[in-house]
Chains A and B, each alone.
Chain A
């Protein structure tokens, strides 16, 4: 099977003030990768106007673009409109589901969504106590459960999980440990480990580290723009297929 080159970035935080800048960096991407994954925090304030900038910057690329939203994209309660705008621009937006794209005869399956926090095994919140705490933890549990189903049903040669929040602590190194529970949850990694994937990409942690691994051995990459410091990172999935 042919190897696939996956370009990935997150936390591009676009707005009118930097309109056009990121688009320029995407020139020639078709020579470097077969697909572009964008791991959330597409905007800064989550407004419709910023959503329009994102749609304009990412539309009509010569390769497919698959994105998820991040917490910033929810801030102005316009997440559904932003999602619709991006979809109208031809971008595949995942919302706790999956999509398969055929790239030169190789089927790439991507599952995921925004994800959420809660913390990491042994140091995490539980669904216990006040309703507010329970709701916080339940939100992550429900997301992880939907990802598990999406991955189970995903029939593809390569499988990638795309998230905004982190599934592991490794890629948070550099962030203050006190805020880890707001940066991700091990439940996301557990879902991927249960069903198998070749790679998990995420963003959210600007001060984190690029490389990590789930307890089950799936490679995790934090592609937040301030972490990778390049327009996008490129990961080459070699011919072997699903982990």
Chain B
């Protein structure tokens, strides 16, 4: 079996370099044949796109998409400097 560290690195590189994603802020953890994706993105389409690219980079492994959608709240209290 391929070393998990190299699998994680390959997925992370694919997410950054693949034109469909170009995502640099996704955490990738590999445990055995399980891949865990964590981070935040702006919409459902981007969340799925990341999962697709990760699956292609790690064929045969089970990908768990734990990426959550970034909820942009109304502006809060101002800070006095």
Contacts and interface: CB of A to CB of B under 8 A. Distances in A.
B81 A219 contact: yes
A89 interface: no
Contacts of B76: 230, 233-234
A233 B80 CA distance: 11
A236 interface: yes
Contact of B78 (A207, A219, A231, A236): A236
B78 A206 contact: no
Nearest to B25: A206
Given A18-B42, A45-B22, A238 B80 contact: yes
Interface residues of A, number: 32
B79 A231 contact: no
Interface residues of B, number: 21
Contacts of B25: 206-207, 226
Interface string B54-76: 00000000000000001111111
Interface of A: 3, 5, 7, 13, 17-18, 21-22, 25, 29, 32, 44-45, 72, 75, 198-199, 206-207, 219, 225-226, 229-238
Interface string B32-57: 00000001101101100000000000
Contact of A75 (B22, B40, B70): B22
